[in-house]
Amino acid sequence: MQSKIETEQSISMAHFVHTDPKSKCFRLHGHTWTVKVVMRGEICDDGMVVDFSDLKAVINELDHKIVVAAGLLNNEGKAKVWPETGDVKLHETEHDTTAIMTIADKGFKYYEIPTEDLFVFPMAFGAVTSENIARYFVMRFARLLAQRSEYEYWVHVDVWEGPKSFASFELHSSTFEEVV
């Protein structure tokens, strides 16, 4: 039996869009994001399509974080150079691992971010934009549903980066393999 569930969660998150140095979004900035999730799926043996707390836990992984595209980081600790944006590298100190980012923007900016404040956005999703964040959440939630049930499901996510601007992404289980 299919059921529809919805949840909405607000988070605070900072990011920058590294793909356009001329845009004001190239600068590090933050939003109070609202993430709305709508799902249709089978009610499982525990009486739920999926536990709301599992959905909120995924959303909260980005809460109060600086989200950086994985393509800007190099796991070997060496700088990964992007001609338009400068260098980004992981740096080990005696206290903590820190991401050090040098970003070209009318000169250079230097950010040192403790890893506990950093969320590395998976490379497959590209730049940290509302569109890609919505797609990221849909894929995470689709995996949750696929683990719980072999039946068809549908996931839709709206990501609001302010009161008037949002992006949506949705996925039906029949197209899941095509998008992964």
pLDDT in tens, 23-35: 888 788 999 999 9
**107-165 per-position pLDDT tens digit:** 455 666 777 788 888 877 888 999 999 999 999 999 999 888 888 999 999 999 999 99
Candidates 4, 148, 144; CA nearest to 61 is 144
**Cα separation, 178 vs 159, whole angstroms:** 22
CB 157 within 8 A of CB 105: no
**Bridge-based pairing state of the strands 86-92 and 97-104:** antiparallel
Identity at 72, one-letter amino acid code: L
pLDDT band (50, 70, 90) for residue 166: very high
All structural domains of the chain: 2-69+122-175 (3.30.479.10)
Which ranges in the chain belong to alpha helices (H)?
52-60, 130-148, 176-179
